[in-house]
A = this chain, B = another copy of it.
Amino acid sequence: MRVEILTIGAELLLGYTIDTNAAFMARALSEIGVAVVRHDTVGDEPELIARAIRDGLERTGAVITSGGLGPTADDRTRDGLAAAFGRELLTDPEALAQVERRFRLFGRTMPKINVVQALVPRGARVLENRFGSAPALWMEDERGRWVITLPGVPSEMRGLLTETVIPILRERESAAPTVVASKTIRTTGIGESALAELLGEDGGDAVAGLPLAYLPGWEGVDLRITAAEMPAADAERALGEAARRLRERAGAYVYGEGSANLAGVVLDLCRERSLTIATAESCTGGLIGARLTDVPGSSDVYVGGVVAYSNRIKESMLGVPEELINRGGAVSEDVAKAMAAGARERLGADVGIAVTGIAGPGGGSAEKPVGTVWVAVQIGEDMRTFGRVYLGDRGEVRSRASQTALDTVRGMLTQPR
C-alpha cells in the first residue's frame, strides 16, 4: 500500500514548529509495510488544502492529513476535505456528541466555538478521538481512493494513528496481493564511506538484490533495505535474511533494528546484568541523562548524575583533583577518567559515564579546537576512554558526544576485553 502524508498549518511553513508529526506518521506506517511516497505541507487555506488532497488522490489514491481540525478560524481542513470531494459540510450528531463528551470529561461545558469541530463532509466516517476534542475523519470515493484527517496536536495524532488508523490499514493491507516493506539496521561508531567499503555500496550478496540505502545522521548510519511488490510473507523472509547477513558483516557496529535507540539498548544491556548507571556530564550538560530518562522504565538502571558544567562542580561534586584540571585542562582524558570514577563512587553506581569537551562556538584553541571531546566509561575495574574532534555545530557536537558515550558502554558490555 502506498500513501501520501499532508501536514497542514501555517506554523509549519514558518518553521516555528518542526514537523515531527510527519516523521512519526511515516515511521509508524513504514513499520507496517505501508510506503509513504510523498509528504506535502500547505498553509491554512481551504483551496490549497483541497488542491493538495486532490493531487494526492490523483497520484497515489491515499492521503493521511494532520492538522487544521481545531476550533479556531485558521483550522480549515474540514473545508478543504469537503471541497476536494465536492461535498457539503453538515453538523454530525455523533461528532458533536464526541466533542461535548470530551469537555464533560474535564468537568467543562463545551464552548460555542467548538461546535465547528462537529462539521463533517457528507459521507465521511467519524473516527472517535479519545485523546482530544477534534474528531478524525475518513472519506472514501467511489473508486476506493481515501483520505484520513487527523488532528495536529502530536499526542492526539499519535494516539489516533496507533489505535485507530493502523488497525484499519493493516486490515486493508492484508487483503492486498503485494506489499512494499522495509527494514532498517542501525549502526554507530563507523562513517558512511567506511561502512560502504565494508559492505559494498549496494550491499553485495548480503542483500540478494534488495535495494540498500545508507542513511547517515548524528546517531550513526542506518542501513535500509526495501522489498517492493512482493507478497507479504516473501518480503518478510527476504528482508529477514538480508538483515541477518548485513548484521553479521557490520558486526559490532550494529546496535539494533527499526526504531531501536541506543539509550534503550544500553539500559537493556545493563538491566540484564543488574548494573546501575551514573553520569558525569560537562559539555553535554544533561543530555545523556535526558536521553536515558526519555526511555520509560529507566529508573531501575539509571540512578542519576552530576552535570558538572563548571570546574568547581567537577571538583566538589565528583572529586576531580584540582591539579588534574590545572595540568591538562578540563577537557582531557585524565579529567574524563576522574569524572567517570567520581560518578560511580559518589552516586554509588556500577557504570560511570563521563563526557567533557568543547561544544563551541567559542572556547576552542589551536591545540584543542571546537569539537574536541573526551569520553570515559568505567565499569568495575574496566575503564575505557575515547577522544576525538567532532565536526558540526554546537548541537551536533553535543549529540554525537552523547552517542559515543552510550556506545562506549555498549561496546564494553558486548565486547569485554
Which residues of A are in contact with B by a Cβ distance under 8 Å? Answer: 10-20, 22-30, 35-44, 48, 72-74, 111, 113, 153-155, 158, 182, 184, 192-193, 196, 201-202, 213-217, 222, 224, 279, 281, 283-290, 292-294, 296-299, 302-310, 312-313, 316-317, 346-348, 359-362, 391-396, 398
Contacts and interface: CB of A to CB of B under 8 A. Distances in A.
B17 A36 contact: no
Looking at A16, A214, A279, which has the most chain B CB atoms within 10 Å of its CB?
A16
Contact of A286 (B15, B215, B286): B286
A90 B71 CA distance: 53
B39 A217 contact: no
A202 B74 CA distance: 10
A298 B158 CA distance: 35
A392 B157 CA distance: 11
Contacts of A281: 286, 289
B393 A10 contact: no
Looking at A23, A73, A316, which has the most chain B CB atoms within 10 Å of its CB?
A23
A16 B361 CA distance: 28
B37 A38 contact: no
Given A289-B285, A396-B155, A72 B14 contact: no
Given A38-B42, A296-B360, A360-B296, A317 B346 contact: yes
Contacts of A16: 23, 27, 184, 215, 217, 222, 224
Contacts of A73: 201-202
A5 to B, nearest CB: 8
Contacts of A29: 15
Contact of A297 (B26, B348, B362): B362
B10 A348 contact: no
A392 B15 CA distance: 23
Number of chain copies forming the complex:
2
Q: A-B pairs with the 4 shortest C-beta distances?
A: A285-B293, A286-B289, A15-B26, A286-B286
B13 A36 contact: yes
Contacts of A36: 13-15
Contacts of A22: 12, 15, 19, 41
Given A38-B40, A317-B346, A307 B285 contact: no
Contact of A14 (B182, B283, B304, B316): B182
Contacts of A289: 281, 285-286, 289-290, 307, 309
Nearest to A19: B19
A214 B285 contact: no
Contacts of A10: 213, 224
A309 B299 contact: yes
B26 A13 contact: yes
Contact of A17 (B38, B217, B285): B217
Given A16-B222, A17-B215, A42-B38, A393 B286 contact: no
A317 B304 contact: yes
24 contacts: A10-B224, A12-B23, A13-B26, A15-B23, A16-B23, A18-B19, A37-B43, A38-B42, A40-B40, A40-B41, A154-B396, A158-B393, A285-B286, A285-B292, A286-B287, A290-B290, A296-B361, A299-B310, A304-B317, A305-B306, A305-B307, A306-B307, A306-B317, A317-B346
